[in-house]
Structure 1
Amino acid sequence: MMKRLESVLKKENANYIFPFLWLHGEDEATLREYMQVIHDANIGAVCIESRPHPDFLGDKWWADLDVIIEEAKRLGMRVWILDDSHFPTGFANGAVKNAPKELHHKYLCYRTLQIAGPIKRVEFSLKEYMQPVPLPPWMPALPKNEDDFADDRLVKILACPVLKNEELGTPIDLTDKVKGDNVVFDLPEGFFKIFVTYITRNGKGRNDYINFLDKKSCQILIDTVYESHYAHYREEFGKTIAGFFSDEPPIGNVDGYMPVGPTGEPNQDLPWSDAAMKCLSEEFGSEGWKELIPYLWAPAQDKGKQAKVRGAYMQMVTKLVEECFSMQNGKWCEEHGVEYIGHMLEDCDMNMNLGASMGHFFRGLAGQHMAGIDNIGGQVAINGQNYGRHDQPACQDEAGFYQYVLGKLGASHGAIDPKKKGRTMCENFGAYGWKYGPTEQKYMMDHFMVRGVNRYVPHAFSPAPFPDPDCPPHFYAHGENPTYRAFGELMGYSSRVCHLIDGGKSCPDVAVLYAAESIWAGDGQSNIPVCRSLGQAQVDFHIIPADVFEKDGEYPFQFDGQIMRVNNVEYRALVISGCTYLEGNVAKFIADAVKKEFPIIFTDCKPEGIVAGTADENEAFTETIKECVLVPAEKIGTYLKENNVISLQTLMKPDDRMLTVYHYILEETDEFFVLNEKNSQIYAGEAIVKASGIPVRYYPWENRLEKVEYETLPDKFTRIRLVVDPLELCVIVFVKNEKELNDLNHISKITAFKDLDERLIASIDEFEVGHVDSRDYLNQLKKAGVTVHCKHTMVKKTGSEQVKAPYTGMQKMYPEYSGYYVYDAQLFLEQGKDYELRIDEVHETAEVFINGNSLGMKVQRPYTYTIPARFVQEKNAIRIEVATTLERKVKAIGGELWAMSAPGPLSPTGIVGNVKIYTK
């Protein structure tokens, strides 16, 4: 750990950032410029996206990639490649259209007739009912499909009694009643739904995409995209070329992003393949599963049989997706010396559904070498308030998925899967709009880093003409973005933090069972309420899938009765969201755990049985869990804290629901991260942490160390006094002894902890303000021969306005301006003393200079700057440079301002409030 801490203090840390670079077929000079500006923003890799490119896999594509690779080699950068011609992954650059028909999407579909019995000699046309429902005559006809779908296959014809609450009774098999093209049969008394189930390619989904349940179909993507790049750049694989990125590959049994359930929704065409038939028959030991097919779309009276067929179907789908797509892609990459990364559509519980997602978060990403998630369009917001509402159908976040589940879901997978090596990637910032600048961007980074995410794909650098309306913000925008320099500072900060949470081991308190199998079976509750309660109580957790309990599975699993270990991550309790049925391997573990008095805690309700369990097995299981604790989901966090069920890694006093804590061990050294997720209130209290040694506080933005007040407690616990500013990420690192402390002090002088006794000595009541266009600012730096992030450069401003305190921003004078505002003032101070300059509020970032010396840049409150005595003269020149976001300039041009985020008021520009000077 000391080596890691030494490297960040020396700014010699590794790179953890690889932003999207969108290619539109730009000229060579533009591509070279953009590779340079990405590098200059403290970034060591790039992820190129072909979505807007006019000639993917064509001559222009290879010419552009030649330039990018050449520049990457010159700059010491690495290149990731999005693996399709457009988003989402699976189109295979259009190759599916010309592939053999057997490799196209297949669907398990149905049509129904409703008939009241008793009735004799019912007759209907089978051909008529093995095709989609015809459109009403008043609706425009769909384009004629030349495909005759001659390979359609009948599965079963079943007459299901419709009972109370629209539940289906035991089906009557009518399949043998087919006479030629007709079905002729009798029905007894009752009301029936006749289900005609069949397999077809004529379904309503992404039919121009690969079939994710078919290995040969998935191979189309590899043959078309992966092999083409390998043929061109074989020598760069594993060197400059890092690997491929899949972006939200969809099972695709619906077209678009409409949320669909796993099963149980009527009128859903279900994904299918030849392998699906084989898997289900093997699972049931026969073709008996066909008798239960109607329960895939409608509720059954027999909930056990409903759970069995729905669970078996979703197990089949998600395991085939894992085998045919994710693992096949990952294996190809491994064999060719590169890695495979990306993410699926996670939104709320869509990650365990069909349609636009992959059915199972952990299986859909099983072949990838990093876990992956994404945050776009206002999903995560300061204070946990989801202000970015979607206009299109998608999950709203009142429940708290984005705030309390998303980051932990990704970090959990990164921690428990050996293939991931502890790495979790987050695609971040996309489509938040031009208003979204470094203030909120820093919070987004902190939000995910304190949950264990340690790789980032910022979204995006776009070399299209400014203002490109495609999902802003764009971090450079041909030099138009005034916050580009601040963005670079943020990337440097983020890599320093990531360097401290990579290569070690996270230390969660409990495991939460991933709810997929229980939800598939019916009536299972979402994990969201449990994760929300744990997060608000500072109880750290991982979400683990039922697959970890599978004998000889992919996850290294150990259990000694007191601690459950998955890939050497330790858990001291298992929390299970309320459900009716549990997966069989989970039930076996619980039976063993209960005997050994390992804490198994259910929320809201206990299961009634096991998916596919017999009556005797279900009875025995319910008896086993009779003594297990049952807690309301919204109280699980406080229950664990107040009842001493386990010894928590971190205990905050006073607690606060907007604090998030994370314990990580790196090189046998304990680290603790505390994020104050309130944007206006300071947290002042103490943390009691499970660690011993000497704690020091690391400030990753300033890249410095500070002593802390602490007290050693029994049983290897330590009490630490903490003051954490709004939106600040506090990092505490334990060093083993005084020698290690002295070694660090030689590298970076460790300052004393802050003395809160201070005295106001002056206010700056007037500034002379000018402005600098963003492109002009960067050009001045270039002409001066200094780097973008040089902290000792003064630029020339234009214009002059006298403004007086309290400052209200510059937007009234310049309502359409985006750029830099430069504030100059004179200040008399007593020499030989340290001072502190504080600005109440800034929109968006501020760098302070005294007598030409930079005191550093800040992107969020508190805008507090230390003025060291060595810079102080009797008469001092104070300069404050404030960079705005681009929202006002884009609005004046008439460009797309909000992207996918909800419209809101325009931000002020410049300094708002007062500027004051303090001394200790």
Structure 2
Amino acid sequence: MGVLTALLIVAASPLQALARSDQPAQVGTRQAETEAGAALSAARFENPAGDSKPTMLWFWNGTITEDLVDRQLADMRSEGLSEVVIFPDATSSLNPAFFTEGWFAMVGHALREAQRTGMKVWLYNDRSFPSGRAAGYVVNGGTIGDRVYEPHPELRAQSIARSELEASGPRSFDVRGRFPGLIPAALSVSDGRLKVDGGYVTLLGRGSDWTDYTFSFDAQPLQTASLGGRSYAQAGWVYRAQDTANGYMYLLGNYPHAGAAGGNLTKIIYKNGAYVSTRVMRLPFNVVSGRSYHVETRVEGDHVVTSIDGMVVDETTDATYAHGTIGFREATTQHESATFDNLRVTAPDGTTLHSQTFDSESALSDFATPAPADNVVAVAALPVRDGKPDLAGLVDLTDRFRAGTPWSVPEGDYQVEYYLHHARTDFGGDGYLNLFDEEAIRRYIQVVHDEYYRRFAWAFDAGVVRGLWDDEPRIATGYGAEPSWSDLVGRNLAHAGATPAQALAATFGDYGPAGSRLRGVLSNAASDALAQAYYKQQGDWARAHGTQIISNPLSDDRPPAWMLRETGDIHKDNQWIQVPGGDAISGRVAPGLRNLVPRYITSDGHQQGASRILHENLGAYGWGVTPQLARYVNGAMGVRGVNLTVLHAYWSNPDSVRYPPSLQPTNPWWNSMDGVVDWTGRVMELTRGQANAPTALLHPQTAAQAWQRTETGDALDNEFRTVTYAMEDAQVDFDILDEAYLNGDPAMNRQAVVSDRALTVGQQSYRVVVVPPAPTMSVKAVARLDELARAGGTVIAYGELPVHEADGQDEALRTALIRLFGTDPARPQPTDHRVGSGHAEFVSTTTDLRRALDGARAPAAQLQPASPDTRVLRVKHGPDQVFILMNEGTKAVDTTAAFPIMGTPEIWDPDDGSHRVATRFDATPGSQATSVPLHLEPTKALAVVFRGQPPAPHLVQSPFEASSVSTTDRDTLQATVIADRPGDFTLVGAEGPRRYTGSLHVEGSFAPIALDGPWRFRFDQPDAQWTERPLGSWTQVDRSYSGDATYEKNVSLSAQDLASGRRLILDLGSVRDVAHVAVNGTQAGRLMWEPYRLDVTDLLHVGENRIDVTVANTPANAHGAGQQSGLLGPVVLRPQQETTVQLN
């Protein structure tokens, strides 16, 4: 893959604790949670604890046996892994099936084997992702062991739909009698065509008794469907449908189905929402987005004939369903959409059963379905003025609807809106629960969590089971504009002083600031209900049972308004969870890409005092994942505060992998997994300290709630990204701080308080708060920021100031902002306003934002020259201060980092666990900073540790790295440096306040010794022959080969090449992907990421020398990807000269 990161970690305390441990690594797993206040451990860094090394997501996706469990756990232990997540995959091949007695027997065996071998296990809390269905046992009922669960279909996921009527007065309007039923929100009419945006299955409102008929229409699939980071087009229709969960379904599209890519017809029989039969057919033409296709499906008895543009493409015989209506199907979760026109259903005798050309919105009433009156939450009438409904004149007709009394319509035109809740099966399946309903989640916990605990209490109590994993629960607003609903949402809304009619009218319409405020009230009520019903109940259960819940919300990488509709208020969710978690999936974290992951979960973890913050990495990244990419992703998450990495994934059946990669023995580089495991474990050891960032970025929650799904909300999101990236690029380490912590929101379990010149939230204290552009804010939050500034803190606002107050107190907000920033928010001018003992500053550009952050001493390191690709995190390990830096760019960085601490830096290297006193730095007394020159290769990880001791002998100025600096007498320092070029150089050293100077003369040739020309080459395959060929990708020989191959080359060296003090560094150039190097028959080392360089001096001799390089690639080639593989070169030996210099 591209270039990997460099990671630098800096910390500070007693030098004697730095001594290298001579104790061997312990056998088996060392469970060693760090103690609060403990100093950084050199021994744990060298040999990371088992719970610092990554956990493996273990998909059970086939037949599970005791032998398979034992073998696969042993595979993982062999590469240093000692924790797994048992994760059932959504496949009919899983045997034994989830929550059968056979399932519990296999889980029990896995737990016993884990206990026997010192491993730990997390259990996934559902049948498969998303969490929140209880494997269907709550909605559909069923039996688990001796427990019988009655069905509760009323606990399905619910959202609010809107149906409209027009009314004119003066006249009487029958509010209840005119109720039109439910019109699917996925449907709209545009340009004379029916537009279907998701919604899964939408059915005609009549025709349930139709038997034989011909269903014809024009379909236009649109390229909006997403899969694996690419887009596809698909148009679907259903016939003989009993309801939305039972019938026949056909899909016309260009998804990349094996053997049918480009154009295909998928035939499905579905029962109770599940596909019981699926067959994909290759069409004789490609399906093109935006092109119209005339489709005709004729069904007579058990015989079905389908034609497209007059060509018969399929004939099927099936008797599963004998009657039913027609409709359309577009998957919500894949964002599928299509348009349809000229719909016609005819009987065998030619009688028209139904026809529609979609010339107006009234055509949507064809798809209206009856709905119980009890489902109506509210009814509102809005006067229409100048062609637009007016929220200010809203008449609440809810009570009239319930009583069945008519409404006397005043003179004028009105838009009457009915808001009704209905079940949603399109984003989580037929059994998906209403996550906003406390009773639904209570029953969910009773089915899954309690059952696991009843059966395996011994494993929970013994610590073999770490806890339960919750994964990507889904809510309605993530799949369309319909808001989620439950009685709890309604109660929260009432407590906020709003009626459902007001809030729902504002949510479905665009009514400016007044409407946005009410939209925000409903959004907040729903977020509170989700946190209370779903997350708090699970967190409470875990606390009561002495265990943990991992959260992994669906959206943890989106900006505020976007994330809100997929996850609710993530900060309110995570406050109840023991282990905040997220994921880096589908290639979202990679060189050259920017996003917000994992800022939300790490911030929540820091503020809640969570000891572990988890991140699942590499899911659905594809077959081409390399150790270099794994290192990049794991490091990028670590430098933002993650301290528990979960690798995706090990599959019980490697022949059926739905979301590659497969990290297991079938992967060519599996035998090098221990290198990734150890490196990641060392980084996690460093990040397991207490976060120590002094800066917070305010999360504009009230603005996000008020302006979601509007252009204003989109602009809010873009600006939030801008501020986040600007702060990262300036090496500011920070947490995101929810506005709800500042405005007295009772749904938060704590509020931020000002003390000791800082804003304190839990264990975190922030002396600097950055306010991003936001049109709306609570005046209470501004008052809390004002209190911080007056106590001596700093508040920096960027871009614009809010002009709308969350509760409508706009003038009070304006007054508070003028008091704080000294400028009118309606026309803000850049200011640096002294406020009490501190100050508040408004800036209009990112350049001024960086200047203001520098002035507030917010950066964790000042870099000279600047390096915007370098990230920084600081944490504390007891008395030790730890700074973590990472180069996320594609080029090496040479810079000097000034850390706001005095001390002796020590170099720690996660590559091999070594640690030593730094030999180059400047800690001039009185400077209040220690400057360390850094060379950060994109693939190099370093740790530098300050321990509070006075500066040791070191070089202050040197063009070369020194392997050692020592004092020979009071007036002399001796430095051993590694030179890579000739010339005359001046070195400056220091010990305390004393300065020393010396001269260095380097001569001789440093020209690389090229190992060019042909190399001997052989694939590691039976009967493979040695050949000679130039270096380059082996795909030129075999494009589909995934595995190992060996390269051999002889090189002749002279006595001058190996003269005293000379070192030779083998530089392999480009390698894809892991290289094992041997020199003259002796193993020299393993190289897993750039730069592929190794000191081989001690294995070389004068005369002929043989270099052997064995390279392993990824499984991508075997799966058709054809990635570059092997030793690409160029290969050289790079001379260096080790020289001792006297400084006086």
TM category, shorter? 0.7 to 0.9
Gaps of at least 5 residues in structure 1 are 261-267, 385-399, 743-748, 777-796, 892-896, 898-904
Which of residues 97, 101, 104 is equivalent to 2:140?
A: 97
SS at match of 1:156: strand
Q: Which moved more, 1:155-164 or 1:23-32?
A: 155-164
Q: Which residue of 2 aligns with 1:569?
A: 764
Matched residues in 2 for 1:692 and 1:438: separation? 36
Deviates more, 1:357-366 or 1:33-42: 357-366
User: Helix, strand or coil: the match of 2:1026?
Assistant: strand
- Post-superposition offset of 1:496: 0.9
Match of 1:474, SS state, is coil
Larger mean Cα displacement after TM superposition, 140-149 or 509-518: 140-149
In structure 2, the residue matched to 1:32 is 70
**Residue 1026 of structure 2, aligned match among 791, 797, 800:** 800
Q: 1:556 to 1:187 in 2, by over 3 A?
A: closer
Contact 2:555 2:563 in 1 (8 A): no
SS of the counterpart of 1:321?
helix
* Aligned partner letter, 2:483: L
Q: Which digits, 9 at most, give the CA deviation of each residue in 1:149-181, with x for residues without a partner?
A: 647244433221345795633112344655976
Q: 1:195 to 1:648 in 2, by over 3 A?
A: same
Change (3 A) 1:153 1:740: farther
Name whichever structure is richer in helix by fraction.
Answer: 1
Inter-CA distance 600–623: structure 2 relative to 1 (3 Å threshold): same
SS in 1 for 2:863: strand
CA distance in 1, matches of 2:110, 2:936: 42
**Does the Cα contact within 8 Å between 1:107 and 1:203 map onto a contact in 2?**
no
Q: Does 1:249 align with 2:497?
A: no
Match of 2:114 in 1: 72
Q: Which one of the candidate residues 568, 581, 606 is aligned to 2:776?
A: 581
Match of 1:157 among 365, 374, 379: 379
SS of structure 2 residue aligned to 1:349: coil
User: Structure 1 residues 591, 693: closer, same or farther in 2, change over 3 A?
Assistant: closer
Q: Which amino acid aligns with 2:490?
A: M
Match 1:283 to one of 496, 503, 507 = 496
Give the conservation status (yes or no) of the 8 Å contact 1:47–1:82.
yes
1:128-277 map, 5 Å = 128-132=179-183, 135=204, 143-144=242-243, 150=372, 152-162=374-384, 166=388, 168-170=390-392, 171-175=394-398, 178=401, 183-189=406-412, 191-201=413-423, 206=428, 208-238=431-461, 239-251=463-475, 253=476, 258=479, 260=480, 268-277=481-490
DSSP-derived class of the 1:808 partner: coil
The CA deviation at 1:322 is 1.5
- What's the CA shift string for 1:352-410, capped at 9, x where partnerless? 668983211122223221221111111111132xxxxxxxxxxxxxxx4x2xx212222
CA RMSD, aligned part only?
Answer: 3.2
Q: Distance in 1 between matches of 2:1100 and 2:784?
A: 65
Separation in 1, partners of 2:772, 2:510: 22
Between the aligned partners of 1:740 and 1:452, the Cα distance in structure 2 is: 31
What corresponds to 2:1136 in structure 1? Answer: 919
State whether structure 2 residue 830 is matched by structure 1 residue 645.
Answer: no
* TM superposition shift of 1:47: 0.5
1:887 aligned onto 2:1116: yes
- Counterpart contact for 1:497–1:700, Cα < 8 Å: yes
Whole-angstrom CA distance in 1 between matches of 2:684 and 2:243: 54
Amino acid at match of 1:913: P
The residue aligned with 2:82 is: 44
2:63 counterpart letter in structure 1: G
Cα 1:528/1:633, change in 2 over 3 Å: farther
2:1020 to 754, 772, 790: 772
C-alpha separation in 1, matches of 2:84 and 2:64: 16
Give yes or no for the alignment of 1:697 onto 2:903. Answer: no
1:506–1:569 contact (8 Å) kept in structure 2: yes
Larger radius of gyration: 2
Among 582, 598, 606, which residue is 1:407 paired with?
A: 598
Q: In the alignment, is residue 592 of structure 1 matched against residue 787 of structure 2? A: yes
Q: For residues 288-343 of structure 1, give each alpha carbon's deviation from its aligned partner in whole angstroms, at most 9, with x where no partner exists.
A: 46444300211225x24x34422222222122222211121122122222211130
- 1:782 equivalent in structure 2: none
Question: What residue number does 1:417 align with?
Answer: 608
What CA distance in whole angstroms lies between the structure 1 residues aligned with 2:952 and 2:643? 26
What corresponds to 2:928 in structure 1?
A: 716
How far does residue 240 in structure 1 lie from its aligned partner after superposition?
A: 0.9
Stretch deviating more after TM superposition (326-335 or 749-758): 749-758
Deviation at 1:719, TM superposition (A): 0.8
Letter in 2 for 1:225: V
Cα deviation for residue 810 of structure 1 reads 2.1
Task: Please say if residues 641 and 687 of structure 2, whose CA atoms lie closer than 8 Å, have aligned partners that are also in contact.
Answer: yes
Q: What is aligned with 2:697?
A: 512
Instruction: Give, in angstroms, the shift of residue 647 of structure 1.
Output: 4.7
- Secondary structure of the corresponding residue to residue 343 of structure 1: coil
Question: Structure 2 CA distance, aligned partners of 1:436 and 1:827?
Answer: 33
Q: What is the total number of aligned residue pairs between the two structures? A: 835
Structure with more of its chain in strand, by fraction: 2
Match of 1:332 among 522, 541, 544: 541
Question: Does the 8 A contact of 1:821 with 1:910 survive in 2?
Answer: no
Q: CA deviation at 1:8?
A: 3.8
Q: Secondary structure at the match of 1:698?
A: strand
One-letter code of the match for 1:574? V
Three-state SS of the structure 2 residue aligned to 1:87 is: coil
TM-score, scaled relative to structure 2:
0.68
Cα gap change, 1:651 to 1:657, in 2 (>3 Å) = same
Match of 2:1079 in 1: 850
Q: Which moved more, 1:752-761 or 1:838-847?
A: 752-761
| Paired letter, 2:599 | K
Q: 1:6 aligns with which of 42, 51, 60?
A: 42
Of 620, 623, 629 in structure 1, the residue corresponding to residue 818 of structure 2 is: 623
Relative to structure 1, the CA distance from residue 64 to residue 336 in structure 2 (aligned partners, 3 Å threshold; closer, same or farther) is same
Aligned partner of 2:944 in structure 1 is: 732
1:82 maps to amino acid: Y
Q: 1:793 aligns to what?
A: none
Quick one: distance in 2 between partners of 1:218 and 1:75? 35
Q: Secondary structure at the match of 2:649?
A: coil
- Deviation sequence 1:464-521 (CA, Å, 0-9, x none): 143x341111011xx331111222211111001101110x222324211122321112
Residue 798 (structure 2) pairs with residue 603 (structure 1): yes
Q: Which amino acid aligns with 2:1016?
A: E
Instruction: Note the alpha carbon deviations across 1:401-428, whole angstroms, 9 max, x for none.
Output: x2xx21222221121112x22x211110
Amino acid paired to 1:185: S
Which residue pairs with 1:391 in the alignment?
Answer: none
Q: Which moved more, 1:135-144 or 1:437-446?
A: 135-144
Equivalent residue letter for 1:20: L
- Is 2:724 aligned against 1:536? no
For 2:424 and 2:658, the matched residues in 1 are separated by 33
* Structure 1 SS opposite 2:1036: coil
Contact 1:88 1:249 in 2 (8 A): yes
Task: Check the 8 A contact 2:903/2:948 in 1, yes or no.
Answer: yes
Q: What is the distance in 2 between the residues matched to 1:709 and 1:349?
A: 41
| Per-residue CA distance 1:762-821 (angstroms, 9 max, x = gap) | 332353222325xx9xxxxxxxxxxxxxxxxxxxx95312234xx223221222211111
Which residue pairs with 1:390 in the alignment?
none
- Mapped contact 1:112–1:194 kept (Cα < 8 A): yes
Q: How has the CA–CA distance of structure 1 residues 914 and 874 changed in structure 2, closer, same or farther, with 3 Å as cutoff? A: closer
Aligned amino acid, residue 495 of structure 2: E
Q: Which has the higher contact order (CA 8 A, sep 6+)?
A: 2
Residue matched to 1:791: none
Which residue among 1020, 1033, 1047 is the counterpart of 1:823?
A: 1047
* Equivalent-residue separation in structure 2 for 1:188 and 1:635 (angstroms): 57
| Correspondence 1:671 to 2:882 | yes
Q: Quote the sequence identity (%).
A: 18
* 219-228 or 58-67: bigger deviation: 58-67
In the TM superposition, what whole-angstrom CA distance separates every residue of 1:588-613 from its partner, at most 9, and x where no partner exists? 31232344463222222211242114
CA gap 1:361/1:593 in 2 versus in 1, 3 angstroms: same
